[in-house]
Amino acid sequence: MVPSDSRVGGQDKSPPLSRLFVYIRVNYLLTVMTYAYIRVSTDRQTLENQRFEIINYCRSENLHVDVWIQETVSGTLETTERKLGELLKQVRKGDVIICAELSRLGRSLFMIMNILNICLKKECRVWTVKERFRLGEDIQSKVLAFTFGLAAEIERQLISIRTREALARKKAEGVALGRPKGSTTDMKKLDRHRDVILLLLNSHRPVAAIARDIGCSRTTLYRWLHLRGLLYG
């Protein structure tokens, strides 16, 4: 079997996750795989606490971790921009994803619901250590699947409405939307859109989507958020 401390990611020379998942499943004849996902937001935080908690949990449940996925990245990033997104593409029916707590999956309820809904549809189980949460194949999970799907759709509609209203108000105030032009710095230009950005952040809209809304690059918006102390975790 693959050692329980096998790690995925963190080094440029590592193979793409999708190839690694397929290699392990085929070469070790695994019909069901157990993944451990650990995430921290900054280099100052340690992954080892989460690893320790998951190892102890798996021992108590008599589970073996086939693949460890670890990353240092903000939980506000969309899953498509994280290793978690590749994992969600590869999981199959019966697979298990274990994490220390639900907040490791994402920093907003909307994002977590979307992730759990994907797992439910693929019949992949999600277990957490701290909350002792188990998303599986029972009737409770089927009810959750419907609830998550409905809540996610409602939230998408509300975000769309709030975005249109906020941008319409800024336009009515004479603020030029889109990528700013001129000689002033990008940071100062984004200051003009501060209230719109804060509104969208509080609505749990992903940063990449906000950047598209206001017409700037994702990198520029992230830099502005960090400089203004508006991005946490």
Q: How would DSSP label each residue in 94-158?
A: T-EEEES-GGGT-SSHHHHHHHHHHHHHTT-EEEESSS--EE-SSHHHHHHHHHHHHHHHHHHHH
Query: What are residue 38's DSSP bridge partners?
Result: 70
- Provide the whole-model pTM: 0.57
Rounded to whole angstroms, what are the CA distances from 157 to 40, 210, 224? 30, 15, 27
The token pair that represents 107 in the structure block: 């920093």
Length of the chain: 233
Mean pLDDT, 10 residues at a time, the chain of 233 residues: 40 55 65 91 81 94 92 87 92 94 84 85 91 77 67 68 76 66 61 80 81 83 82 56
The token pair that represents 45 in the structure block: 């935080």
The residue extents of the domains of the chain are 7-145, 176-233
Q: Are 2 and 24 in contact (CB under 8 A)?
A: yes
| CATH code linked to domain 7-145 | 3.40.50.1390
Measured distance CA(129)–CA(106) in Å, rounded: 16
The token pair that represents 181 in the structure block: 């032009």
- pLDDT at residue 25, rounded to an integer: 67
In the block, which residue shows the tokens 């921009």? 81
- pLDDT at residue 206, rounded to an integer: 85
Measured distance CA(118)–CA(203) in Å, rounded: 21
